[in-house]
Amino acid sequence: MSNHSERLPLSAPVLRREIWIVLALSLGASAIWSIVDILGTLTAPGGLAEHTESMNSALAEPERPLLDLAKQLVRIALALAPVALALHLLSLDRGNPFRLIGLDRTRPARDLLAGAALAAAIGIPGLGLYFAATALGLNADIEASNLNDVWWAVPILVLAALKNAVVEEVIGVGYLITRLRQLAWSPVAIVVAHSLLRGTYHLYQGFGGFIGNAVMGAVFALVFLRWKRTGPLIWAHTLLDIAAFVGYLLVAPHVSWL
């Protein structure tokens, strides 16, 4: 009788197939759609300079706010399915996936503080890059929130920020880097691969979005390789997206430059 505590290492071909499948169901699919989107934008009249990219938009008519809320919640919940798949696959041969990728509750305060510091270090230069790229016509105008006037707008934007962080950091960092290390990729190759992936699935925003997120991807990959924790990365990403989504919702109606 086999011992359930024994976990056989997966072969390299199996790992490669698994990575392609997980990415095809999540960030890889987003990268492909992002490439298609920017090609469409670049070949449209006006190009990037006259294009506006809307995020977190309403999913139902203004007179049906509860239907919109239900659709928003369903979309967020279903987006987390690939995360569950990635964690499940890691558990099959690597044990507790939460401990493996540093998503456990052993150091919540330190994770939060480190995440806040990362968010500040990335967010301020990133905002400057966005405005510069937009002014140069290298980026689309981003509407970070385009929801109807509803009471649940802020909670949904916070949940959307958390969803983005969990999907991108668990799959793109925790899962992917763990698997690439099993395949004996060098740290440089891992950082470059993750950086290009993160930049590509943000390419729909324009070339400024690609560069900014590629740099963020390199930083996050280096941090994970050093700390072996996705906790601070999820905090940092969540705080950045909350600032962008909720900040846009609150500020955009009162200024002309957003």
Q: Where are the domains of the chain?
A: 12-254
Taking a C-beta distance cutoff of 8 angstroms, is the pair 180, 14 a contact?
no
Q: How far apart are CA 199 and CA 170, in angstroms?
A: 16
Q: Which residues pair with 57 in a beta bridge?
A: 146
Contacts of 128 (CB under 8 A, 6+ apart): none
pLDDT at 251: 85
Q: How far apart are CA 122 and CA 233, in angstroms?
A: 11
Classified as helix, coil or strand, 142 is: strand
pLDDT at 161: 98
pLDDT at 3: 47
pLDDT at 258: 57
Low-confidence ranges of the chain (pLDDT < 70): 1-6, 255-258
Q: Which of 206, 180, 188, 194 is nearest to 233 (CA)?
A: 194
pLDDT at 1: 40
Tokens encoding 201: 């699935």
* Tokens 């705080």 -> residue: 239
180-232 tens-digit pLDDT:
999 999 999 999 999 999 999 999 999 999 999 999 999 999 999 999 999 99
